[in-house]
Structure 1
Amino acid sequence: MQAKETLFADLVQGKAQQFQVPLYQRTYSWTEKQLRQLWSDILEQAELIERGEQANTHFLGSVVLAPSPQNDATFSRWLVVDGQQRLTTLSLALAAIRDHVKDAEPRQAERIDEQYLINKWQTGIDHFRLLPTQADRTQFAAHIRGPLTEQVGSSVATAYSFFRRKLVEAADPSAPQDVFRIEQAITSRLTLVAVTAQHGDNVHRIFESLNNTGLKLSQADLLRNYLFMKLTTRGEHVYETYWLPLQDSLSNEELEQLMWLQLVLDGDDRVRRQDLYAAQQQRFERDEASEEEIEDYIRELYGRAAVFRRLLHPEEEPDAAVRAHLLRLNAWQAQVTYPALMLLLDRRARGDLDSTDTARAMSYIESFLVRRMICRVPTNNLNRIFQSVPGQLPLDVPVADGLHQLLSSENRFWPDDRELREKIQKAPFYQFGRSQQRKVVLQRLEESYEHPEPVDFAAAQLTIEHVMPQSPGDEWLEMLEEEAADGESAKDLHSRLQHTLGNLTLTAVNSELSNHPFERKQGLLHGSHLEMNRRIAATERWGAKEILARADELADRAISLWPAPLRGVGRAQRSRDWHLAHQVLAALPHGTWTSYGDLAAFLGSGAQAVGNHLASTPGVVGAYRVLTSEGKVSEGFRWTSDDDGDDVRSRLAADGIRFTVTGAADPAQRLTADDLALLVTEDDDRAEAEDTAQRTTSAGQGEETRADRFLRQLAADDSPETVEAVRTLFARWEELGGWIGHGAGQVMTSAFLMLGQAGAPGRGIWPMTLYPGSGRGGTAEVVFQYLATRDPFTDRALRAELLTRLNKLEGVHIPEGKLELRPNIRLSLLVKNGNLELLAETLVWFRDRWETRETV
């Protein structure tokens, strides 16, 4: 047996060879959770390469190999006893890179193929460097041969599509990543331990010993042990005087964060938190630190802990203006800004700036975050931006002015007033950022009205309300029809405006009027204590004109509240919108299409502008899957590459698109603007039942339980037969051992079909969420997207079986392409013959799969 550290490139490239996954191995099963973590590690290594740093490679794990019985002298074959998931994933990532660059740099694509993926002169199955199990072999081989003209849903296809999508995302103009640097990170920065066994070796025992690891020490534990090992004479005094109070005031996680921030404040703007111990140790060793110097370090850490606690507990800040900014940034969950905030509070503690200038500097940080969120600037480079603040802050100007100047640099992408106004008018605000961030924006706008008796936002249970509802009734659509532009339907206009900031407000009232005509909402809004609601209620009608007028008013307030950068970044910002379009098109699941109007509504653009861009921009993945609202290929569509064929329908059919007798793409496979948002939004606000779902409890006198509220709202918009069917469904679910959890929403209540224990990580799971009447009847949302992260439904085959079972219900036709999303079923379908029984049988199957899952 031989064990050595190696790299993917060293393992697979060179002479012709093959790594065979034995047939008894499980199939490829990495989910997006593992893929996201790997991608994060890859980008981190790519960044280190860019800086020229050779140390700090990332250990990926072990690979256990044994000679294959088919091995011969001219062509080495190895059995992959352990590590097939890693090898398969890295191979698919390289295949995605090859296909990403093939049009622009075909020679580089050929090089990647021959170095890592194929044995050029071998034929048949020997052509592939990696040979998965038979169950995965066809799909894997198709992706390695590439480019694919037809994809079938599988874990292999999901992983390949993930990397294609992330490579498009990596071209973000605000922080572009070089694709060949990413390739280098994969092939030469991810280390493996390769264990090569000989005939007769017990490779399974080797695997077991390699993976039998205990609980790891944190970076804070390692550094603490090192420090007190060095304090041979003063250790007890330093521990009792500084370390013990420090440890009592902060958790181990918080202490580690403070240690990292101290390094950053001292000028090390490149240190990673996971390298904290090594970086600080090297600093002490390099400077040959004495006991006194180590004691000084711990004393300074102790002093900065009081400053750090202001970030964790803003209510402890005595200055009102500074406290207000810290509270909002805390609500924003803006931990990424801690290096800059610590610098400001540290400088204030030293007397370098007063509280007024501290608050002004914090207003720039808040504005930077808010404007970028409203204008949909990706957040993937925020860590780098704020970690660099202490080291890059100009020294020749006051601190607050220097921070304003630094954040205004063009490569920081701080939107100017013009772009902010445009996005408030057009962009679907409700679909970007986190739920609490959207509430912070609306709360701050409400506060700007300076109501003489302001709302206590901490006590009020406010939720975001669409004034024009998300599911409009006929009266709403008739009004919108009058305002629709040429070639635009009322539904298109609704899709374009529903999620914009001008149509959103905060409310604490129940939802019985939330989806009804505006006239019935006015009285409710007029009685609100929120000034913004009173102003909406004072309007005679609520259509496109009124929504755009309110957007203008809110834009004026936003521009006043959140300071602008010193220099505008110009219209180069527009490229981000198109980059977002490229991302979402690269993420379209197999068997789905979208329309120009849907894509435009998602972007906050116009359908014609979308069409012009796609027609004039070569290399946009999936551009041919954007059709007219009728599901037809646009008359103006042209391939932008000579390599593409001219039969668009054949390509669509190969992608799983079905056509009706009229020649239109199947409308059931169409992805709306809301569906598109799900494809590129990793923060899933509605998949948090473990935190929000509660078992029904008895209410006090005069109080309404969540369960009662759900059924009341359902009855307000659905037939008595439907309500009774839902009651029966709940009873059947509880007979199976499940329970009904109800969300905290006042405006939109919900019911989760729960299994396990909510609130305990990995314990709770639910197959669907029920929502009451939304103008057109209640719905059951099948949470495929969420299930993809929960065992055992990380197995795509199980999710596909769930879809097949649901499609047996009369009137249910969920296309396979929505297996990555959260499609809806109308609750009224439960009253159809046999549907309730079929759904109950499906839920029995779901429970059985979950209860028999493998546990570790």
Structure 2
Amino acid sequence: MIQDVKAFPVSFYFNPDAATSFFIPKYQREYVWGWSNWDALFNDLDESPSGHFLGSIICVNGQKDSMAGGKLELIDGQQRFTTISLLFCALYDKLKTNPEPDDDFNVEMVNLKNRIFIKANNQWRFEPSEQMQNKADFQRILSELFPKLVTAPKGLANFGNRRIAKAYKYFRERLAPLTISQAVALLEKLKSAILVKIEVQSHSDAFMLFESINNRGIPLSAIDIIKNNLLAELDKRPDYGIDRAFDEWKDLIELLPDPVVQERFLRQLYNVFNYLKRVEARGCSRATRSNLITIYDTLLRKRPVWLFHALQSQGKIYSALLNPAAAKDQWSEVTAANLQDLQRLGAAPAYAFLLWVSQVARSQVWDESKALSQMAWLLTKWFFWRNLTDMPPTRELDPMFVELIGELLQEMRSQSIAKLDEFVKHASDWLLARAAPEDVCDARLKGNVYLDNYESTRFMLCKLEEMHQTRENKRDLWAHDTNDRPVFTVEHILPKTENLGPGWVAMLEFNSKGTADAIRQRCAHQLGNLTLSGYNSKLGTMEFMKKRDRQNDKGDFIGYRNGLYLNADLAQRTEWNEAAMTARTDKMLKEVKSILSLRSNS
């Protein structure tokens, strides 16, 4: 895994007599260090004795001796190397103002130039990332310092507002009040500062080290490493090239911008299609976080172009599964709505199966929109009960869907499944056999559902309300405010807090004194005591009748006479006690099951 670990001074990496250079591939992330990082580095060098430790770097090295020459890909250490290079440039800018340079000083200046450039060919010692114009901004700085060696880039609008320019400006300003001898002393400290170089042979090895290395660097994700390796392979293809590959990669990332979703997509894509020989990576039956890079390195070595096209086409489908607007454009409004419901339940493991369903529907010439719509609604119901009962446990979900795919494949190959309806029915029966028993589901619905699973509780209340909405009274129950908080939240009719007011105590106890708090503890979190409100904080612990008739300053009802179906029976009541809560729980339980049940006889 690790070829070599050695501590070297900065002068070793930026050796004026060596030919080794370091580069950040254009498809890596941008330079992100800011003022606090620059300030800490400068102060550490200035205040510490010679040999200050700067951290570690990781580079991929296919050579026997990484310092013997050649270009090394810097996997971890971009932030430090970029900053060190900018500090070298700022020091050169400062020292060239020496009015009385002697021979030794002139040699030092030549060496400093050759730390920035390779002496033999005047190529840059270090090439920053091309992201966010990092490389072009660095080129501008070099062109101002060394106009005979570097041509100024064109069209660099807002140069001074970007990090490379700001870092260079910061160091120049810190160096400005120093004398020449003080600047030379700082240069010596920079050259003697220590960086630990960790050499590895592959990108996969590099990624595994990130788990155990903690320094000032910005660690890369699995998607970064896979991207680097994939685009490096495509760069070798004369019919593809890095520019085209990079542009197409950006399109893929725009479809799946969240790194967590990107990694999940790569895992799920492999797990549901690795029964195909062209997809299988030998020895990897299932993709996990630890072997993900190894899997994709194996695949891209065999078919990099095919793999990239597969990622693009499947990534577009995966993105649409997660994005209601895209789903509506690609399939239908009904499909988009069902996928939206599934997403609200946090059913991440389901997307692996839906990705496969999409592929099957197209290969079988079924109606893809209908197939996804029916499956999304089936999975919505299944995940609702799974989340409510925690059966099966989370750790079993990913392998369970892989098993379901294997079962359906077997049935299709044996001709037991030929039509979409048969496909859906078989999947439904299979999932039902792994769902919680009906008595367990009923017990959860009659219990403290609010405490057991808030999100499932809010979901079922929203579904109950949505089923009774019309075009005239439709409200967006999933809307968020300007702070990205849900507008409609779960409201306890009987307050859940202790120390109930005298009105509540009198209503609950009736002829049984001292029972109010026991009733609250038994009933407060039950389904029958819950509703939806966009004004939860304005209702709070006030008495029932005040909650029922509450209005805002405009005279609009914001209490239980607000027109919601869930509040229709509450709007006419004058009391709220244990009997009322129990009766409402039984009624709502039946309605929930009529909408979300997996069992047709419910």
Query: Normalising to structure 1: TM-score of the pair?
Result: 0.37
1:463 equivalent among 467, 486, 489: 489
Q: Determine if contact 1:501/1:551 at 8 Å carries over to the other structure.
A: yes
Q: Which amino acid aligns with 1:226?
A: N
Q: Name 1:420's counterpart in structure 2.
A: 441
Q: Any unmatched runs of 5+ in structure 1?
A: 5-208, 569-856
1:336 equivalent among 349, 353, 356: 349
Q: Once the 2 structures are TM-superposed, how far is the Cα of residue 565 of structure 1 from its aligned partner?
A: 4.9
Pairing 1:243–2:265 present: no
Query: C-alpha separation between the residues in 2 aligned to 1:271 and 1:484?
Result: 61
Q: Name 1:636's counterpart in structure 2.
A: none
Question: Over residues 819-842 of structure 1, what are the superposed CA-to-partner deviations in whole Å (9 max), with x where a residue is unaligned?
Answer: xxxxxxxxxxxxxxxxxxxxxxxx
Query: C-alpha separation between the residues in 2 aligned to 1:315 and 1:353?
Result: 19
Q: Determine if contact 2:451/2:525 at 8 Å carries over to the other structure.
A: yes
Q: Determine if contact 2:342/2:376 at 8 Å carries over to the other structure.
A: no
Q: Determine if contact 2:354/2:372 at 8 Å carries over to the other structure.
A: no
Query: C-alpha separation between the residues in 1 aligned to 2:525 and 2:561?
Result: 24
Q: Name 2:505's counterpart in structure 1.
A: 477
Query: C-alpha separation between the residues in 2 aligned to 1:210 and 1:230?
Result: 27
Q: Once the 2 structures are TM-superposed, how far is the Cα of residue 503 of structure 1 from its aligned partner?
A: 0.5
Pairing 1:385–2:404 present: no
Q: Name 1:310's counterpart in structure 2.
A: 320
2:589 equivalent among 548, 551, 555: 555
Query: C-alpha separation between the residues in 1 aligned to 2:509 and 2:402?
Result: 50
Q: How does 1:127-142 map to 2 (within 5 A)?
A: none
Q: Give me the CA root mean square deviation.
A: 3.4
Query: C-alpha separation between the residues in 1 aligned to 2:343 and 2:478?
Result: 13
Q: Once the 2 structures are TM-superposed, how far is the Cα of residue 431 of structure 1 from its aligned partner?
A: 1.0
Query: C-alpha separation between the residues in 1 aligned to 2:466 and 2:298?
Result: 49
Q: Name 1:33's counterpart in structure 2.
A: none
Q: Equivalent residue of 1:464, what SS?
A: strand
Q: Determine if contact 1:364/1:563 at 8 Å carries over to the other structure.
A: no
Q: Determine if contact 1:315/1:327 at 8 Å carries over to the other structure.
A: no
Q: Once the 2 structures are TM-superposed, how far is the Cα of residue 241 of structure 1 from its aligned partner?
A: 7.2
Q: Determine if contact 2:549/2:560 at 8 Å carries over to the other structure.
A: yes
Query: C-alpha separation between the residues in 2 aligned to 1:228 and 1:549?
Result: 63
The structure with the largest alpha-carbon Rg is 2
Question: Over residues 11-65 of structure 1, what are the superposed CA-to-partner deviations in whole Å (9 max), with x where a residue is unaligned?
Answer: xxxxxxxxxxxxxxxxxxxxxxxxxxxxxxxxxxxxxxxxxxxxxxxxxxxxxxx
Pairing 1:431–2:451 present: yes
Q: Determine if contact 1:407/1:414 at 8 Å carries over to the other structure.
A: no
Q: Determine if contact 1:464/1:504 at 8 Å carries over to the other structure.
A: yes
Question: Over residues 95-149 of structure 1, what are the superposed CA-to-partner deviations in whole Å (9 max), with x where a residue is unaligned?
Answer: xxxxxxxxxxxxxxxxxxxxxxxxxxxxxxxxxxxxxxxxxxxxxxxxxxxxxxx
Q: Which amino acid aligns with 1:481?
A: E
Change (3 A) 1:247 1:376: closer
Between stretches 465-474 and 219-228, larger displacement belongs to 219-228
Pairing 1:257–2:264 present: yes
Q: How does 1:100-139 map to 2 (within 5 A)?
A: none
Change (3 A) 1:273 1:353: farther
Q: Which amino acid aligns with 2:309?
A: R
Q: Determine if contact 2:322/2:339 at 8 Å carries over to the other structure.
A: no
Query: C-alpha separation between the residues in 1 aligned to 2:595 and 2:601?
Result: 18
Q: Equivalent residue of 2:569, what SS?
A: helix
Pairing 1:406–2:444 present: no
Q: Once the 2 structures are TM-superposed, how far is the Cα of residue 340 of structure 1 from its aligned partner?
A: 2.0
2:295 equivalent among 263, 275, 279: 279
Query: C-alpha separation between the residues in 2 aligned to 1:448 and 1:235?
Result: 52
Q: Once the 2 structures are TM-superposed, how far is the Cα of residue 299 of structure 1 from its aligned partner?
A: 1.0
Q: Which amino acid aligns with 1:260?
A: R
Question: Over residues 683-725 of structure 1, what are the superposed CA-to-partner deviations in whole Å (9 max), with x where a residue is unaligned?
Answer: xxxxxxxxxxxxxxxxxxxxxxxxxxxxxxxxxxxxxxxxxxx
Q: How does 1:127-166 map to 2 (within 5 A)?
A: none
Query: C-alpha separation between the residues in 2 aligned to 1:530 and 1:436?
Result: 20
Q: Name 1:509's counterpart in structure 2.
A: 535
Q: Determine if contact 2:256/2:262 at 8 Å carries over to the other structure.
A: yes
Q: Name 1:494's counterpart in structure 2.
A: 520
Q: Determine if contact 1:404/1:565 at 8 Å carries over to the other structure.
A: no
Q: Once the 2 structures are TM-superposed, how far is the Cα of residue 408 of structure 1 from its aligned partner?
A: 1.9
Q: Which amino acid aligns with 2:576?
A: W
Q: Determine if contact 1:455/1:529 at 8 Å carries over to the other structure.
A: no
Q: Determine if contact 1:374/1:423 at 8 Å carries over to the other structure.
A: yes
Q: Name 1:82's counterpart in structure 2.
A: none
Q: Once the 2 structures are TM-superposed, how far is the Cα of residue 444 of structure 1 from its aligned partner?
A: 0.8
1:320 equivalent among 323, 333, 337: 333
Change (3 A) 1:353 1:533: same
Q: Which amino acid aligns with 1:365?
A: L
Query: C-alpha separation between the residues in 2 aligned to 1:303 and 1:273?
Result: 23
Change (3 A) 1:529 1:229: same
Q: Name 1:226's counterpart in structure 2.
A: 229
Change (3 A) 1:211 1:531: closer
1:539 equivalent among 554, 573, 579: 573
Q: Name 1:375's counterpart in structure 2.
A: 389
Change (3 A) 1:252 1:446: closer
Q: Once the 2 structures are TM-superposed, how far is the Cα of residue 339 of structure 1 from its aligned partner?
A: 1.0
Query: C-alpha separation between the residues in 1 aligned to 2:477 and 2:596?
Result: 20
Q: Which amino acid aligns with 1:413?
A: A
Q: Once the 2 structures are TM-superposed, how far is the Cα of residue 526 of structure 1 from its aligned partner?
A: 4.4
Question: Over residues 558-613 of structure 1, what are the superposed CA-to-partner deviations in whole Å (9 max), with x where a residue is unaligned?
Answer: 11211325899xxxxxxxxxxxxxxxxxxxxxxxxxxxxxxxxxxxxxxxxxxxxx
Query: C-alpha separation between the residues in 2 aligned to 1:273 and 1:445?
Result: 39
Q: Name 1:444's counterpart in structure 2.
A: 463
Q: Name 1:529's counterpart in structure 2.
A: 563
Q: Which amino acid aligns with 1:501?
A: L
Query: C-alpha separation between the residues in 1 aligned to 2:519 and 2:334?
Result: 41
Q: Name 1:125's counterpart in structure 2.
A: none
Change (3 A) 1:296 1:510: closer
Q: Name 2:380's counterpart in structure 1.
A: 366
Query: C-alpha separation between the residues in 1 aligned to 2:601 and 2:297?
Result: 41
Q: Equivalent residue of 1:343, what SS?
A: helix
Question: Over residues 608-629 of structure 1, what are the superposed CA-to-partner deviations in whole Å (9 max), with x where a residue is unaligned?
Answer: xxxxxxxxxxxxxxxxxxxxxx
Query: C-alpha separation between the residues in 2 aligned to 1:555 and 1:211?
Result: 51
Query: C-alpha separation between the residues in 1 aligned to 2:537 and 2:226?
Result: 54
| Identical columns (%) | 22
Q: Equivalent residue of 2:532, what SS?
A: strand
Q: How does 1:624-663 map to 2 (within 5 A)?
A: none
Q: Once the 2 structures are TM-superposed, how far is the Cα of residue 303 of structure 1 from its aligned partner?
A: 0.9
Change (3 A) 1:503 1:266: same
Q: Which amino acid aligns with 1:265?
A: V
Q: Equivalent residue of 1:506, what SS?
A: strand
Question: Over residues 470-495 of structure 1, what are the superposed CA-to-partner deviations in whole Å (9 max), with x where a residue is unaligned?
Answer: 1332333344335979xx94322221
Query: C-alpha separation between the residues in 1 aligned to 2:440 and 2:593?
Result: 11
Number of equivalences: 349
Query: C-alpha separation between the residues in 1 aligned to 2:380 and 2:586?
Result: 21
Q: Once the 2 structures are TM-superposed, how far is the Cα of residue 326 of structure 1 from its aligned partner?
A: 1.6
